[in-house]
Amino acid sequence: MAVSRYVGHGGQQTELAVPGGTGVMQAAANSGQAGIVGECGGSAMCAACHVYVDESFETQQ
């Protein structure tokens, strides 16, 4: 299990324990996080999600 931390527009935080390999969007949508639409199901077409990867993760898989 990994821990995903979600911060909403109002600053409210939710932590979810999710199985490895689960998408960040999918986990949020499954647990009904407000503001995560995921309309295209993760095929990078609806632009409802934006991902910024911190440089420190660049070398990690």
CB count in 10 Å sphere of residue 35: 10
Work out which of 1, 3, 17, 45 binds other proteins, going by CB under 8 A.
Answer: 45
Q: Does 38 bind other proteins (CB under 8 A)?
A: yes
Q: Is 40 in the site for other proteins (CB under 8 A)?
A: yes
Does 44 help bind other proteins (rule: CB under 8 A)?
Answer: yes
The distance of Cα 40 from the centroid of its chain, to the nearest Å, equals: 14
Burial of 30 (0-12, 13-18, 19+ CB in 10 A): middle
- Sole window of 2-10, 12-20, 36-44, 52-60 interacting with other proteins (rule: CB under 8 A): 36-44
